Amino acid sequence: MSEILIRNAWNILTMDDAGSELDGADMILRDGIIAEIGSDLVSEGEVVDASRCLVTPGLVNTHHHLYQTLTRAVPGAQDALLFGWLQTLYPIWARFGPEEMRISALTGLAELALSGCTLTSDHLYLYPNGARLDDTIEAAQDIGLRFHATRGAMSIGQSDGGLPPDALVETEAAILEDSIRVIDRFHDPREGAMVRVGVAPCSPFSVSRELMRDAALLARDKGVMLHTHLAENDEDIAYSLEKFGCRPGQYAEDLGWTGPDVWHAHCVKLDGQEIDLFASSRTGVAHCPCSNCRLGSGIAPVREMIDAGVKVGLGVDGSASNDSSNLMLEARQAMLLQRVSRGADAMSARAALRLATRGGAEVLGRHDCGQIAVGKRADLALWDIGGIDSAGSWDRSALLLAGPSRVRHLFVEGRQVVRDGRVTTIDLGRVIARQNTLAERLAM
């Protein structure tokens, strides 16, 4: 039995239904869950002094393409719009293989962990040169983050009028077959699962209508979730109207892509009707504010979504379009961006942090994560509020206004993945060195 006592936390933001905050409380983590919360708790296990720490649930990242950490800040793509950005990067990604997938995933996962993330999804939709979803799942297991891998796919290449080069697309039969393989091999439906698998065609413009429909049927058959990109920008809406004769929300609904087991990335351009559809069907949204700013896509109507009852989480999106994987900064950006369009009272620091924790857990169907309560998984981020970032703050729990964007300690399933600001589970120096070598090789 492994046990850790977190003692005398300066404050705990529980993210429970009432938004309770606990001053000076202790917590015992035992066998992967939060076993006790109270004062003057006693334990035989390791003791972590949290007297200068704000404790939050581990942050939840609902959208990423980890492999893209190898193509950050590529000069030709730095200032391009979405479709041009993709066309610049596809030929580089076509040279990836298993090692590129694994090292880039470790890099992105480590950056997420250092920014407080304990649970992340990933959307891998290209498999060149023998790369497999397994490469990224193994990376997540090595570093010890809770991981929702999604088996992405593209089937419409340039010769069929699509954007990606033919070398990066697969046949739809092969996509479905491999999706079944990875679900059967890795998906764990149980509470406390460290790995789950979802089905995730890249976007409505990179696969056929048939594959969208078949993917939904497969996911329902296997009891796994569905994920894709939707309504990202004006070009996306125009494409949908021209090719499908309807808006993206309608297209999604027609093909079985709404429901509590579905979440869509971006949704920057959802209209009022689509927001109501997502709310009534309990469809989730991964809001990616930095990516939306970076690619000039627009400001997602997140305030309207939340008010309508849509489940919203946050995503850093791929590191080629962010270019960071810092989820804490992403939450700050979400707060700021809503204020740009709706005024200073559009989203508070606590509300944005709630999206980054409880909101994301709900989007990913993880009711065992995203909040601090007895019986929930022991996924915790401890933020040092005694340093320069918080100095002079009158409300150190308003972390997104003034506070650190890197954790001091991070626990996943009760295991310490970050201690005193350093990743404990992998040799990060070696990963960074290898990552830079691979990036240099790709740039040649």
State the residues that interact with Zn ion by CB under 5 A: 317
CB of 125 to Zn ion, least distance (A): 9
Tokens representing 149 are 């891998």
How buried is residue 394: exposed, middle or buried, by Cβ count under 10 Å (0-12/13-18/19+)?
exposed
Cβ within 8 Å of residue 415, ≥6 positions away: 2, 144
- Write the DSSP symbol of residue 183: H
Cα 17–Cα 146–Cα 385 angle in degrees, nearest 5:
60
- Write the DSSP symbol of residue 389: T
CB of 47 to Zn ion, least distance (A): 41
Q: Which is nearer to Zn ion, 261 or 317 (CB)?
A: 317
CB of 229 to Zn ion, least distance (A): 5
Question: Cα(221)–Cα(215) distance, rounded to whole angstroms?
Answer: 10
- Write the DSSP symbol of residue 286: E
Closest alpha carbon to 117 in 415, 412, 426, 419: 412
CB of 154 to Zn ion, least distance (A): 13
Q: Which is nearer to Zn ion, 63 or 376 (CB)?
A: 63
The three-class DSSP label of residue 159 is: helix
Question: Cα(265)–Cα(245) distance, rounded to whole angstroms?
Answer: 21
Q: Which strands, in side-by-side order, build the sheet including 26-30?
A: 33-38, 26-30, 3-7, 46-49
Spatial contact of 25 and 10, defined as CB atoms under 8 Å apart? no
CB of 175 to Zn ion, least distance (A): 18
The three-class DSSP label of residue 62 is: coil
Tokens representing 364 are 């990913």
Total residue length of the chain: 444
Q: Which is nearer to Zn ion, 172 or 317 (CB)?
A: 317
CB of 288 to Zn ion, least distance (A): 7
The three-class DSSP label of residue 318 is: coil
CB of 63 to Zn ion, least distance (A): 6
- Which position's Cβ is nearest Zn ion? 317
Q: Which is nearer to Zn ion, 317 or 413 (CB)?
A: 317
Q: Which is nearer to Zn ion, 142 or 235 (CB)?
A: 235
Q: Which is nearer to Zn ion, 32 or 315 (CB)?
A: 315
CB of 393 to Zn ion, least distance (A): 33
CB of 101 to Zn ion, least distance (A): 16
Question: Cα(186)–Cα(430) distance, rounded to whole angstroms?
Answer: 27
Q: Which is nearer to Zn ion, 207 or 380 (CB)?
A: 207
Q: Which is nearer to Zn ion, 26 or 317 (CB)?
A: 317
Amino acid at 225: M
Calculate helix-pair angle for 209-222, 172-186, nearest 10 degrees.
20
Q: Which is nearer to Zn ion, 47 or 293 (CB)?
A: 293
Q: Which is nearer to Zn ion, 45 or 128 (CB)?
A: 128
Give the pairing of strands 59-61 and 117-124. parallel
> Which residues on neighbouring strands pair with residue 59, listed in sequence order?
117
CB of 316 to Zn ion, least distance (A): 10
Amino acid at 58: G
Q: Which is nearer to Zn ion, 10 or 93 (CB)?
A: 93
Amino acid at 390: S
Question: Cα(18)–Cα(315) distance, rounded to whole angstroms?
Answer: 25
CB of 318 to Zn ion, least distance (A): 5
Cis before 323 (ω within 30): yes
CB of 215 to Zn ion, least distance (A): 17
Q: Which is nearer to Zn ion, 202 or 329 (CB)?
A: 202
Spatial contact of 16 and 371, defined as CB atoms under 8 Å apart? yes
